[in-house]
Amino acid sequence: MDNINGLPDDLLVKILSFVPTYVAVSTCVLSKRWEFLWMWLPNLEFVSPWDSRPGIVDFINKKLPIHRAPVIERLCIHINSNPHIKPEYIKRWIEIAVSHYVRELQIDYHSKTKITLQLEAESYFIDGKYLQQLISGCPVLEDLSLRFCCNDNLREFTVIIPSLQSLSLFLFGNSNLNRYKIDTPSLKYLKLEDWNDPEHYSWTNMPKLREAYVDVESSNHLKTLIGSITSVKHLTICCLEDYLYGDGFIFNHLEHLKLCMCPFDSSNLLGQLLKGSPNLQVLDIFEMKRNDIVCWNQPSSVLECLLSSLKILNWSAYFGRPQDRDIAVYILKNACHLKTATFLTDKRINDVRRLKMIKELRLSPRASSTCQLVFGEDF
């Protein structure tokens, strides 16, 4: 012990940083000198086995305000359902973290009102105004994730972050959220899962956006969003409601499109996206749940991306329905530069039907003499 006590404080704090926070805190009983050493730690994790202890909330409320490290690199708080926790506690923890220039923040509190904020990790909030306070205190924030769950009290929120590069929004069903505004001109990555139908959406143009994952229930939302994401290179899209976004939106930079064919009218959305993506190189078609696609409306003229750029077609959960076959045959017949076309048949299809589908595709004409057909089973 004497040898350790002879070490400088900076080195002792460095040593403590290699053990779990609850172990570092336990050293405070060793001597007067050790009482506050752990409070210089830049990384704090109040997690298991602490999260189930009754006094954890009181401990955090008492010690976090007097934490001595000027910069908190990472603050992680996991608390299971606790009757003693109050919304103002979480608000205070966030304010303290921001005042210490927190780099990574995770506050995980499970309750009936749960909202998740992620700055390179996850954090939980109770009210939209706390979210606004945190955002305003992070002028160079680059990565943000929000999760709004069932029975939230949150009615509306606004995200205006000029520096933001990555945004993930998870808006689960039955949320009370009815309006939001997103203004993120520097955004490069967007992930949106919205299973609600708020009254008002507002998306500003995102000229730097390069990748987007869009899974929405409301066609109105897709209609509002589509014009703001035309700069993407990679796009994954699924909309449960039928939607035709009309002419005028061109995805000049889109190289890789992943389209879910769950909606009944998704074949028309596919036609629109192909028409508006003159430089598309990779097309992935998949289904998360089976629906009978309505009749495929074949374009009156060959689409530009088929004539000049499409190289790869991947179709997962291929059922071989007449509408599926019509789409596949149209692409094979007109894609002049297609290198590979992969069809993974649904595992529920019997062998006789599978062989028939494969034969139909093998016998269909191909515009590209070098195109290879690949068949397999989708698991």
Distance CA 19, CA 183 (A): 41
Asked whether residue 94 is assigned to any structural domain, the reply reads no
H or E element, residue 10 = helix 9-16
270: CB partners within 8 A, 6+ apart: 259, 261, 285, 327
How confident is the model at residue 115, as a pLDDT? 36
Give me the average pLDDT of each 10-residue run along the chain (379 residues). Answer: 77 92 90 91 82 76 94 86 72 86 76 42 51 67 76 73 90 71 94 81 90 87 87 90 64 96 69 93 83 68 95 93 91 98 89 92 96 89
Asked whether residue 15 is assigned to any structural domain, the reply reads yes
Q: Are 259 and 274 in contact (CB under 8 A)?
A: no
Q: Are 245 and 270 in contact (CB under 8 A)?
A: no
**Helices and strands, number each (H, E), in the chain:** 11, 18
72: CB partners within 8 A, 6+ apart: 42, 43, 44, 97, 100, 101, 102, 103
Distance CA 30, CA 35 (A): 7
How confident is the model at residue 292, as a pLDDT? 55
Asked whether residue 117 is assigned to any structural domain, the reply reads no
How confident is the model at residue 113, as a pLDDT? 40
- 242-261 pLDDT, tens digit per residue, is 555 555 689 999 999 999 88
Residues written for the chain: 379
How confident is the model at residue 363, as a pLDDT? 95
How confident is the model at residue 347, as a pLDDT? 80
Residue 151 gets the label, from left (phi > 0), alpha (psi -120 to 50) or beta, of left
The burial class, CB within 10 Å (0-12 / 13-18 / 19+), for 119 is buried
Distance CA 253, CA 246 (A): 19
Nearest to 265 by CA among 294, 240, 290, 285: 294
Tokens coding 329: 């045959």
Domain residues for the domain of 27 are 1-41
Q: Which pTM value belongs to this model? A: 0.70
H or E element, residue 93 = helix 87-99
Asked whether residue 209 is assigned to any structural domain, the reply reads no
Distance CA 210, CA 187 (A): 8
Nearest to 259 by CA among 220, 299, 314: 314
Residue 247, φ and ψ in degrees, nearest 5: -80, 165
Asked whether residue 285 is assigned to any structural domain, the reply reads yes
Tokens coding 78: 């996991």
Residue 119 has what DSSP assignment? Answer: B
Side-chain half-sphere CA neighbours of 283 within 13 A:
29
Side-chain half-sphere CA neighbours of 378 within 13 A:
18
How confident is the model at residue 328, as a pLDDT? 95
Q: Are 262 and 284 in contact (CB under 8 A)?
A: no
Query: DSSP letters along 169-217, please?
Result: EEE-TT----EEEEE-TT--EEEEEE-S--SEEEE---TT--EEEEEES
Asked whether residue 18 is assigned to any structural domain, the reply reads yes
Q: Residue 223 CB: number of other CB atoms within 10 A? A: 16
Structural domains of the chain, count = 2
- 41-97 pLDDT, tens digit per residue, is 999 998 856 555 668 888 999 999 999 999 999 999 887 666 677 767 887 898 899
Asked whether residue 347 is assigned to any structural domain, the reply reads yes
Asked whether residue 312 is assigned to any structural domain, the reply reads yes
Sheet holding 115-118, edge to edge: 123-125, 115-118, 143-148, 166-171, 189-194, 211-216, 234-239, 256-260, 282-286, 312-318, 340-346, 372-378
Compute CA distances 75 → 38, 106, 150, 162, whole Å.
14, 6, 26, 24
Residue 366 gets the label, from left (phi > 0), alpha (psi -120 to 50) or beta, of beta
